[in-house]
Structure 1
Amino acid sequence: MKHVGLTGGIASGKSAVAAQLTKLGAVVIDADVIARQVVEPGTEALERIRDTFGPGIFADDGTLDRAALGALVFADQGERAKLNAIVHPLVRAEVDRQREAAIANGVQVVVEDIPLLVESDQLDRFETIMVVQAPHDERIRRMIEDRGWDRADAVARMAAQATDEQRAAVADILILNDGSIEDLNAKVTEIYESQLA
């Protein structure tokens, strides 16, 4: 079984790479999806977040206002550390459960999609680190045009993550996403067939 850590900066195209890996037969475990699940209404994590950050980051229906929480934690490293201390252990436990289930089912390639892989000190858990990168200005454009963020928010999100240089330094496989989706899928397919499968 090949155990791959997949990461990339925000708006780099990491999700597109994960989707192509899934099509090729890998089991992709998405840490972001799990992070949303562990803070759904009624969870212990959501109550701890309310106790830690107050009611101002909740919508009227009691759900987490992700934009308000994001604005808070991406502007303050200390606040981000508090959130991570609540969420990360729960995410890791569920990731471990899903990985063990995939292995038990005979899956040959398990990919953990972790946006903050470099920042969260997990590199030694993986046999292979795959990093997706895209040009800085293109990432900003995607966040503004595709996600509707303002430029300041986009820049703040990028600044809160590891740099391209830091991610490239730990990459066993570096994918530059600077063309069409067809180009990206072709690169991923070639890598999967020659290095992972």
Structure 2
Amino acid sequence: MRKIALTGGIASGKSTVTVKLRARGYVVIDADDIVRQLYGKGKPIYNAIVGTFGNEILDPSGEIDRKKLGALVFSDSKARELLNSVTHPIVEAEISKDLQEKRLQGENMIFVDSPLLVETGNCERYDTVVLVYVDPQTQLQRLQSRNQLSHDEAVLRIKSQMSLEEKKAYADYIIDNNGTLEMLDQQVDQLLMWLRQPD
């Protein structure tokens, strides 16, 4: 089974590529979806976050206050590293379990959407690493527009991740997402043609 990692940065267009791959019938395991599933009260990521940051991170209903947590980790690199150190092992274990299930079901090509693939040092777990790239100015504009963030808030979030320029060094294939959705569609088709070529 061929395992293909799909990575990028915040607002680079990974999720859009994931939607396009699924529309073409491919299986995509999404790390962010796993986080959302395990974020609820009493779930593994919830327990890890509350155990690390305490009850101050909770809203009045006892759920994790995502705005409060986001404000903390995007402004404090130590808090961000701590969050990643407690959540990533849980997410990686879940991805491994999902990959094993898909292998047993006979899938021969699986994509894993993993935003922090390079930062967590997991590139070698995959046969191919695909980077969804966008130039810094476009990334900033898309993030501000999508998340209704101020310029400074958006810059802070982008700077919390390794730059897309640095991530290029880890990629086997780069999708340039600076153009239109139609252009992105064409690039997804080109990627799939490239992946189907014999080694």
Give the TM-score normalised by the residue count of structure 2.
0.93
Contact 1:21 1:189 (C-alpha < 8 Å) held by counterparts: no
Kindly, what percent of the aligned residue pairs are identical?
Answer: 37
Q: Distance in 2 between matches of 1:121 and 1:59?
A: 33
1:16 aligns with 2:19: no
Q: Match of 1:47?
A: 47
Point out where structure 2 has 5 or more consecutive residues left out of the alignment.
none
* Closer/same/farther in 2, CA of residues 12 and 54 from structure 1, 3 Å limit: same
Q: Distance in 2 between matches of 1:64 and 1:134?
A: 31
Q: Match of 2:122?
A: 122
Q: Which amino acid aligns with 1:104?
A: L
CA apart distance, 1:44:
4.1
Root mean square deviation of aligned Cα:
1.5
Aligned pairs for 1:34-183 within 5 A: 34-183=34-183
**Structure 1 runs of 4+ with >4 Å offset:** none
Secondary structure of the residue aligned to 2:120 is: coil
Provide Cα deviations, 1:120-161, integer angstroms capped at 9, x if missing partner: 000110110000011211111111112111211111111111
Q: Which amino acid aligns with 1:21?
A: L
Secondary structure of the residue aligned to 1:175 is: strand
* Closer/same/farther in 2, CA of residues 104 and 153 from structure 1, 3 Å limit: same
**How many residue pairs get matched?**
197
Secondary structure of the residue aligned to 1:195 is: helix
Q: Which amino acid aligns with 1:136?
A: P
Point out where structure 1 has 5 or more consecutive residues left out of the alignment.
none
